[in-house]
Structure 1
Amino acid sequence: MTELSVGEPTVFVVRILHSSDWHLGRSFHRVDLLAAQAAQFDHLVEVVRAEKIDVVLVAGDIYDRALPGVDAVALLDEGLHRLISAGAQVVLSSGNHDSSRRLGFNARLLSAAGLHIRTDPAAVGTPVLLPDEHGEVAFYPIPYLEPALAAGALGSERSHPGVLGAALDLVRHDLAARPGVRSVISAHAFVMGGAASDSERELSVGGLGQVPLGLFDDIDYVALGHLHGRQQLARPVRYSGSPLAFSFSEAAHVKGSWMVHLDADGLRSVEEVPAPVPRRLARLRGRLSEVLGSERFNDDESSWAQITLTDPQRPAEPMEQLRRRFPHLLELRLEPDRSAGAGPASYTEKIAGRPDLDVCCGFLEHVRDRPATPAETVLMQQALEAALIESMEGVAPGPAYRDLAAMAAETVSDAELHALLSPRGKGRRPGRSA
């Protein structure tokens, strides 16, 4: 707790540093980011000390994958130790990139040392209670809730709004027994109104992963994770964004975190805390001769660069030529100017920005000259959803896959579906020989 003098009398406030989406162990177009991520911990520790931060609140995606590398694990261990030694409590929860089982190991013992880890959907209604001069602040860290895995534990419908809504019902039930307690929620979710970038993994197949902003009404502060751009959806509802850029779509982002002040009445103020930038991002576009010769690209020569060439015909050895001027060129795209007589669009251009399910169905139509049937669409959706679950935990998705298949059988009345799911016909269309 910190004294904040604003005239008379002195105001006591709780200072929270809201961060998320560290993605420890991630690379950027094959550039190792571990040194930059270590520098981010240096920055956070400096902010904790300089601003006398009481709580560092991290809203998921601590690691980049369910089975993180040993270097990423060592960096997290060292970073959390330094944050707590600097005087802050740390409250963090798992995201869709984390393995909740692995991240949550030993959580009860670590809580006594000031590190509060929440990964269990069934425990969302049990807060981390931290006292100050005005009473207590109840922190409810909600981990990422995969509907196929969390709906049973929460007794909710199997959808993103369903599981998150059920979790918030548990939070409000607990708050009802704590009159006057201020509330802070962290959640890893795609909330309607948020602006996405290219580096986030889809939360569901078919774009059904968004949840309404109204779920968070009447909470003093909501710390969101998942979207990588820092943004405000409502005064108390914000994404901190990732501290580093993970795609060129984030070139215009200002990375950092939010410093949140709570006083006796709840949310007092929120301030931007910019993060250090290891290297600028630049997105350049034009014909090869223009990109190589124009002075307007002088300031981009030291940047990590994405260059899109629009020459009607593919230039010879473009990467070699461009890297003489832009040594940190990481991505080269070729998008010929169609008005100049270039050939038809490439397959990559045609599928750019389309959801995974659309790409799969489109490929099926492309190779056999007829669209996917409802049954085949369901099967591809099941496979994609099962892959999402498997990537979260690093385990085979058998039970969840069977549940999804059962749901499909209830909603799709199609003889072809049953033929495809049968032991002899699995993976084959009816009427086609093996």
Structure 2
Amino acid sequence: MDSEFHRIKRLPPYVFAEVNALKARARGEGRDIIDFGMGNPDQPPPAHVVDKLAETIRNPRAHRYSTSRGIPGLRKALAAYYARRWTVELDPEREVIVTLGSKEGLANLAQAITSPGDIVLAPNPSYPIHAFGFIIAGAAIRSMPPAPAGAAGAEEFLRQLDRAVRHSVPKPLALIVNFPSNPTAETVGLDFYEEVVAFCRRHGLYVISDVAYAEVYFDGVPPPSILQVKGAKEIAVEFSSLSKTYSMPGWRVGFCAGNPRLIEALARVKSYVDYGAFTPIQVAATAALNGPQDCVEEMRQRYRRRRDVLIEGLAAAGWEVPSPPATMFAWAPLPPDLAPLGSLEFSKLLLSEAEVAVAPGVGFGEYGDGFVRFGLVENEQRIRQAVRNVRTFLRSVDPAAAAARSLAS
């Protein structure tokens, strides 16, 4: 009775818990922590979406069980979004399903299609559910490069993909891609997806794409969808979410679209484990997709301003961080003098000495250990204060003493 349960044993300790515990302790002591740790939008959803929720919730019939596939109106709204955003035609009945956020959808799809011992190719570093959804389902994960930066990076990714297929036994079941990427903020073009789809069709791999940040971009070029590629729906599905686009993370509304066989497999598992999101939430989500979209551009500009304040401020403080072209994150290499600490110890030191919380890169996979992730979830005034704190910290910290203290702990 004392042994750990089988599936739990496959999950490592949650790295972010250490930083979260330190944050809670510091706040309990009355310290003002500026928190960039979690990608949790700080603005409310658009007013017309909240109004639709309030209107619908007064309907007595709206409080019954919903449907695990999602109400028809919301599935049609997602199909219409794909048509106008990417010129992709989707059948709302066979090629779209509503999920309780993309995280739940990914986990339940993994349960639906994975057999014990299957191999899944997942980026490292990546959003944890991309790997651990399949690990929980019994798969083995083979790490892939997280982000093809430019043509050379794309070529290297495809070389690694070819090698993974040739040297994995059994042959991999699926490839997971996530662009714009959480946590690295990298983007790709449609030509990259065309090569991935061609390769995976040739070798019989499913592709699972995550485009949760497709509307959070800053360079004027909207990120593509893998479903734009001819033949992609034969092997691919794509997860999306309203969490970041409409500042609705707590509403838990996401989608899966694409290959009908994978959609049906996900629907079958969901039919046993949930009744779908609360119907008024789905009605309000429909209003978000079908209603005025000026709120989306406002969201983009808000994150752009915050990005610029953060990146410029860190550079002035002596910490060079690449400016992210998309997402609500900045993926920051550790300052060279403090890189030997590793991302977790650096994050703890930054929290205790500068009162700035970030996400340690190792929480996204071992290949993220040389980085920390900033979430653009504080207003510009707070970001400027954080940058001042960081500048003071970097000028005063003794790297040797910090390393010795880390080893002692």
Q: Which has the higher contact order (CA 8 A, sep 6+)?
A: 2
Normalised-by-shorter TM-score class: 0.3 to 0.5
**Structure with the largest fraction of helix:** 2
TM-score if structure 2 supplies the norm length? 0.35
Q: Which has the higher strand share?
A: 1
Q: Which has the larger radius of gyration?
A: 1
